Amino acid sequence: MNTVQIKPDIYWVGVIDWAIRDFHGYVTPNGTTYNNYLIVDEHITLLDTVRHDFAETTINNIRHIVDPSRIKNIIINHIENDHVTSLDKIMALAPKATIYITEKGKKGLSRFFDLSAWNIKIVKTGDTLNIGKRNLLFLETPMLHWPDSMMTYIKEDKVLISQDGFGQHYASASRFDDEFIECSSIQELDDAVVDYYANILMPFGNLIKSKIGEIQKLGLEIDVIAPDHGIIWRKDPGKILKMYMDMANGAADLRVSIIYDTMWQSTEMMTLPIMQGLKDEGVDCRVIKLRATPMSFAIKEFWRSRGTLIGTPTLNNKMYPTIAEFLHHLTGLRPKGRITGVFGSYGWGGGAVKEAYDSLKAMKLETFEPGVEALYRPSPDDEKKCYEFGREFAKKVKEYHNQFK
């Protein structure tokens, strides 16, 4: 292994990380890949590198095609550790190569490496680089998802090297979307796209829309979208563009996630009648016990669902710690276009339901009040209230969902 030609003389020289299950705190049940690309032209050009512990793998992949010392240009589209931390090993083999990077990228790169001996050229949107038969066009994509980020378009081949954009954490024997079309794992792949978007790109919906608009305005024809993680989109690059536009416009399924935690099962007992109320109004739901679930999975389910109900017991007059952590995390992702509500149990004094409700309100999410609460143990009467709460919330979710049609 392991190079794959994505167009004549353009190769994937990346690595597959089958084993990673924790990507800086996100669960990655399917592993990931670190994609980088080599163009064999008059001036041999490498686009991006890989995580430091895979440096030798990508260097060996490059060696299958050319002697790494012949690399003339290195494009650094993004300086996050998973893409840049083997740059020093590559520069050691090709010390005369010129690095092309955004201004903010160079500033950040200087925190990783001593740049004094390296040739570095700053590029910005619209700049081009001729490498022989081909011309590269640079497109800055600041805050998608770091300030330094950019994409590189290979004009003659109509290939967009899109860095983290349009990527997924998905390790697979396949490199291309068309290798998935006929098998069931296409669903897994779509799920990985949503997971990646929810956990990494959720705050940047407006930027995504304007960047896709900018690409369309430039009239760039795109045959292939090649991200730095996961599958390369060559059969249907329009599919991933549409998925991104839909998500940036707030697309969600008409369903509800009940995300809860519990101390002595009282809050947990409340989930069942609520779930029944939702179902009886024709709204599907998924119940997620937070303490037993990775945070990034719960974030994905929140994002996938038009409505979310948070269930929390009161502990020392506060939200249960896992719920507080979830809401803290969600706040940073600046969610939009979702309706939420809260329920929970308490002993002698409440507080958690109000605190969770205030937290959702502070995020400027649509919120459904009042939250239903049960003292110590849900009574039959509390269960009836929970059922009605579920029904009423389902009605609100349907109404709210209609605004997005």
Give the catalytic positions in this structure.
24, 78, 80, 82, 145, 164, 196, 229
CB of 14 to ligand FEO, least distance (A): 12
Q: Is the dihedral of CA 296, 298, 301, 305 positive or negative?
A: negative
Region of 80-88, 173-181, 191-199, 285-293 interacting with ligand FEO (CB under 6 A) = 80-88
Quote the CA–CA distance of 107 and 265 in Å, as a whole number: 51
CB of 16 to ligand FEO, least distance (A): 14
Q: Kindly state whether residue 169 participates in binding ligand FEO, applying the rule CB under 6 A.
A: no
Q: Which is nearer to ligand FEO, 195 or 382 (CB)?
A: 195
Residues 6+ apart with CB under 8 A from 117: 95
CB of 241 to ligand FEO, least distance (A): 19
Q: Kindly state whether residue 140 participates in binding ligand FEO, applying the rule CB under 6 A.
A: no
Q: Kindly state whether residue 148 participates in binding ligand FEO, applying the rule CB under 6 A.
A: no
CB of 123 to ligand FEO, least distance (A): 19
Q: Which is nearer to ligand FEO, 79 or 275 (CB)?
A: 79
Q: Which is nearer to ligand FEO, 79 or 270 (CB)?
A: 79
Q: Could you tell me if 166 and 197 are in contact, meaning their C-beta atoms sit under 8 angstroms apart?
A: no
Q: Is 213 helix (H, G, I), strand (E, B) or coil?
A: helix
Q: Which is nearer to ligand FEO, 151 or 319 (CB)?
A: 151
Site for ligand FEO in 195-224 (CB under 6 A): none
Q: Kindly state whether residue 391 participates in binding ligand FEO, applying the rule CB under 6 A.
A: no
Which residue has 């997005």 as its token pair?
A: 404
CB of 104 to ligand FEO, least distance (A): 13
Region of 40-48, 76-84, 301-309, 331-339 interacting with ligand FEO (CB under 6 A) = 76-84
Quote the CA–CA distance of 101 and 107 in Å, as a whole number: 10
Strands 37-39 and 10-12: antiparallel
CB of 13 to ligand FEO, least distance (A): 16
Q: Kindly state whether residue 82 participates in binding ligand FEO, applying the rule CB under 6 A.
A: yes
Which residue has 């109509």 as its token pair?
A: 158
Question: Which residue among 41, 48, 148, 164 contacts ligand FEO (CB under 6 A)?
Answer: 164
Q: Which is nearer to ligand FEO, 131 or 248 (CB)?
A: 248
Q: Which is nearer to ligand FEO, 145 or 401 (CB)?
A: 145
Quote the CA–CA distance of 41 and 66 in Å, as a whole number: 11
- Tokens for 229, please give them: 């993680």
- Tokens for 335, please give them: 């969610």
Query: In the bound complex, which residue of the shown chain has the CB atom lying closest to ligand FEO?
Result: 80
Q: Kindly state whether residue 80 participates in binding ligand FEO, applying the rule CB under 6 A.
A: yes
Query: How many Cβ atoms from other residues are within 10 Å of residue 4's Cβ?
Result: 17
Counting Cα atoms < 13 Å in the Cβ hemisphere of 351 gives 11
Please calculate the CA angle 31-22-310 and round it to the nearest 5 degrees: 110
Site for ligand FEO in 83-112 (CB under 6 A): 83
Q: Could you tell me if 131 and 40 are in contact, meaning their C-beta atoms sit under 8 angstroms apart?
A: no
SS3 helix, strand, coil % of the chain, rounded to 5? Answer: 40, 25, 35
Q: Which is nearer to ligand FEO, 151 or 310 (CB)?
A: 151
CB of 4 to ligand FEO, least distance (A): 19
Region of 79-87, 251-259, 269-277, 387-395 interacting with ligand FEO (CB under 6 A) = 79-87
Which residue has 């994905």 as its token pair?
A: 300
Q: Kindly state whether residue 78 participates in binding ligand FEO, applying the rule CB under 6 A.
A: yes
Q: Which is nearer to ligand FEO, 82 or 268 (CB)?
A: 82
Quote the CA–CA distance of 224 and 12 in Å, as a whole number: 13
CB of 32 to ligand FEO, least distance (A): 8
Q: DSSP string covering 220-284, please?
A: ---SEEEESSS-BB-S-HHHHHHHHHHHHTT--EEEEEEEE--SSSHHHHHHHHHHHHHHHTT-E
What DSSP state is assigned to residue 355? Answer: H
Question: Which residue among 41, 177, 228, 373 contacts ligand FEO (CB under 6 A)?
Answer: 228
Quote the CA–CA distance of 391 and 107 in Å, as a whole number: 54
Question: Which residue among 211, 229, 300, 306 contacts ligand FEO (CB under 6 A)?
Answer: 229
Binding site for ligand FEO (CB under 6 A): 78, 80, 82-83, 145-146, 164, 228-229
